[in-house]
Amino acid sequence: MHESEIFKFIKHTIMSSFTVQSLAIVSCFVVVAVLAGGEDSSETAMFPAMFVFGDSLVDNGNNNHLNSLARSNYLPYGIDYAGNQPTGRFSNGKTIVDFIGELLGLPEIPAFMDTVDGGVDIRRGVNYASAAGGILEETGRHLGERFSMGRQVENFEKTLVEITEMSRPESVKEFMAKSLVVVSLGNNDYINNYLKPSLFLASSIYDPTSFADLLISNFTTHLLELYGKGFRKFVIAGVGPLGCIPDQLAARAAPPGECVEAVNEMAQLFNSRLVSLVDRLNSDNKTTSEAIFVYGNTYGAAVDILTNPFAYGFEVTDRGCCGVGRNRGEITCLPLAVPCAFRDRHVFWDAFHPTQAFNLIIALRAFNGSKSDCYPINLSQLSRL
């Protein structure tokens, strides 16, 4: 049996590390080894489809079609992706949802903008994520066109029309209820809104607590819209430790080895409310009968990696692999820039985004991790409900 690409990548990561990998990573390696080599089919996939709503952490090419400064369809983005070519993913290789899809037995799902002219298979899911997009409509406006969460929900409605036209009503209902929804939004509402007071008014109107409340209120509205369309299985990623990304380390001149705690505290305010929202939705049987909402603790997993980098095979945690200036984070990765040589040893690819190696670990923890990684259950458990 030939090793799959993901199997080879995990083996390479483990073998190239200078220290023994953590027990958690070894156990995750076993999980993937079992899955490696299997071809996708409707019989073996753990969900019939996956639908993704998010920002640049999971955008797989939507912004390629928009008039936006937030684009990554040029090298060295994609240098480690299949074919060593850029796709619009904001990484040197695969995103978290790429790896999640592989773990679930699903094929690569198309970007929504690649489906608008037809001729693209949408039966296994669609990715609506948009770089610079946020929960709030105004987030990221200084970067040009982007799809906010509200716009992404509207785009999904167009897909749903197509799905409905090709299926019986009862089969559409079952398909929607069994499909997986992944939502990863909120990061830009801070780094491309609240934390840019010269461009946005949010920080002069709201304190961090009230801003987190505003985000959760808007987020809840859009999430329930998706529930109203028929989805029943949701994974909602928290905001990461934004005070540790190269952009914020550079902008706020953080001392070596330290993150910007004030920014991390803002992220935690949002995340704590997101956990409460998940609890509320899961307990509100009148609103969400037969639905399950899962919180993906990307913040906790990222902090664990940043605190114990050598245990995961990383050596560089405070600067981008591709970028310019302090922490290689003042100017993000430019066209034809020369990135670092040992990319799987870096946590961060550019000023804002992690490397493929980091994305793989987060995906594995979401797939088979403990309640501290995915609450109240992980993706493997969710697939069996």
List, by residue number, the catalytic residues: 56, 350, 353
Listed residue (129, 255, 103) closest to 186, CA to CA: 129
Which residues make beta-bridge pairs with 180?
50, 233
Give backbone dihedrals phi and psi of 111, rounded to 5 degrees, phi first. -70, 145
74 touches 148 (CB < 8 A): no
String of b and e for 107-119 (b: at least 16 CB within 10 Å)? bbbbbbbbbeeee
Listed residue (35, 53, 353) closest to 184, CA to CA: 53
13 touches 357 (CB < 8 A): yes
Listed residue (35, 32, 55) closest to 44, CA to CA: 35
The two tokens of residue 376 are: 């109240």
The two tokens of residue 270 are: 């949002």
Going by their DSSP bridges, the two strands 292-296 and 233-237 should be labelled as: parallel
318 touches 327 (CB < 8 A): yes
How far is it, in rounded angstroms, from Cα 319 to Cα 278?
33
